[in-house]
Structure 1
């Protein structure tokens, strides 16, 4: 006995949502995050660029001045004034902050071993990552103190006089960067520890059979598998170096004589501090800082894209 086929008009039509559920469902889940990102990140970027074209004290009426704020920044750079010092210090931060990446890698390689007391070692190296930058700044301020700081106590044991790291315009930037490297190295270490857990053991064994060990094993087998972790470490470290603010504010306040300023702190000074609430000028500094960040981030994104295509 055969059953007659149902007429086409007896099959109910599916709704638009039923037909496109798999396509639209991910976007609906992402919609809140996209809206927040657009409202709190994308929109302020364009708003800052627009504000940089005005002279505004934050209270009165804004006056359109075109690119005059950028011209003032250019002349400050030529005259080696505050903007030049801030940009130079940011470059020093950027170069020295990258030391956190190899340091974090080698610490992660050590902590990835099976040795006695490894949990204690992991806790000690992880500790700087969980404490506040304000606490880090205060700890290193006491550490560098020329009167009772541990650094000068140790130098006194070997017959060296007290050194005022934060009071010397030639050493203050390096002292603050060293304080920042402490938690940043811990962050890179965590990234590499996560990446090492995903390393393919079969490739390690194949490398050993081919005679690779030590540096050759690390360079040819391990590091290629850690490229995603390295990419994230580079991006986060570069952004952290370029937007450094809290340690400078806590440890020196931009001193001595403005020698430890960076662009983020100088932006704060001209917009909200002693320079007369020049909101447009501060926004121009923010645009320059954003442009520098985008150059590095776009370069690393393009490099990763080329590697994926290969």
Structure 2
């Protein structure tokens, strides 16, 4: 009498591998859908809307590229674009500022927790509060700035009322929390710096600027990349500080593209939604060029050779 062959269990490994491959996408699906619906779809909708003349209520009228041609002869758009260039250039000062503050706070000194709290404070308050604080600081009658200028015998200046100074005054206000944000990024990056590389460089005689340039900064590339991207986006969408501190004044001299877009689309009589969308498209393309450049630079540095 022969023994019957025992049945073999079905191989479940392919099914398990499929489940492991699908599981990450199931977790990512809600975020991806949210991103597609609230970010990607509005971008394409803005491109489409910029080709129409529409007040937001009636029937849109297709005008093609007329809104973009009108931008070329719009003096207010030119002023807003130039102010955005100022924001882009000067706002980047937050990156080296945040780096050097992070290097200082990374030391073991007495009272370092108090220093960290003081430098971290601007990051946790809202932009509205920052705008109000600096509006009081710049006030020509009782502001602290003019009080300090009086100590050295200089006359009062009206920073927010002078078309030549107002943009720079708002940029300084924006640099306060942005520097704190870059500082946090670099503090996180410094915690990941390889101490063995630092010790090896110290044994080779590297110190000071040489240590920073050849050993520390190369290991902070990811933090630097994030700081650049976030700072550029912050400079290009600088709306809230301008709205709180000057509302685009005096005489429209402190407008930037994001604020001018709001004025044309939602604040001006007639609600020129298509024209505002054209401004938004220009702003998006400027932002896209900068971010694509930094992504390409990061890819070139990280790819194997």
1:43 aligns with 2:41: yes
CA RMSD of aligned residues (A): 1.6
- Matches for 1:11-26 after TM superposition, within 5 Å: 11-12=9-10, 14=12, 18-26=16-24
- CA positional deviation for 1:276: 2.3
Question: 2-side partners of 1:297 and 1:12: how far apart?
Answer: 51
- CA positional deviation for 1:11: 3.0
Q: List structure 1 runs of 4+ shifted beyond 2 angstroms.
A: 3-7, 10-19
Q: Deviations over 1:232-288 (max 9, x none)?
A: 000000000001000000000000000000000000000001252000000000000
Query: Mind listing any 5+ residue stretches in structure 2 that lack a counterpart?
Result: none
Which residue of the other structure, out of 243, 248, 261, is the alignment partner of 1:254? 248
Q: Which residue of 2 aligns with 1:231?
A: 225
Q: Which residue of 2 aligns with 1:94?
A: 88
3-state SS in 1 of match to 2:160: coil
Residues 1:20 and 1:115: Cα distance change in structure 2 (over 3 Å): same
Question: 1-side partners of 2:29 and 2:204: how far apart?
Answer: 50
- Matches for 1:48-197 after TM superposition, within 5 Å: 48-76=46-74, 81-197=75-191
- CA positional deviation for 1:120: 0.2
Question: 2-side partners of 1:96 and 1:54: how far apart?
Answer: 35
Question: 1-side partners of 2:10 and 2:90: how far apart?
Answer: 67
- CA positional deviation for 1:158: 1.3
Which residue of the other structure, out of 245, 258, 267, is the alignment partner of 1:264? 258
Instruction: Using structure 2 for the length normalisation, give the TM-score.
Output: 0.96
Query: Mind listing any 5+ residue stretches in structure 1 that lack a counterpart?
Result: none
Question: 1-side partners of 2:102 and 2:37: how far apart?
Answer: 37
3-state SS in 2 of match to 1:178: helix
Residues 1:19 and 1:230: Cα distance change in structure 2 (over 3 Å): closer
Q: Which residue of 2 aligns with 1:299?
A: 293
Instruction: Using structure 1 for the length normalisation, give the TM-score.
Output: 0.95
- CA positional deviation for 1:74: 1.6
Question: 1-side partners of 2:5 and 2:131: how far apart?
Answer: 79
Q: Which residue of 1 aligns with 2:6?
A: 6
How many pairs were matched up? 303
- CA positional deviation for 1:44: 0.4
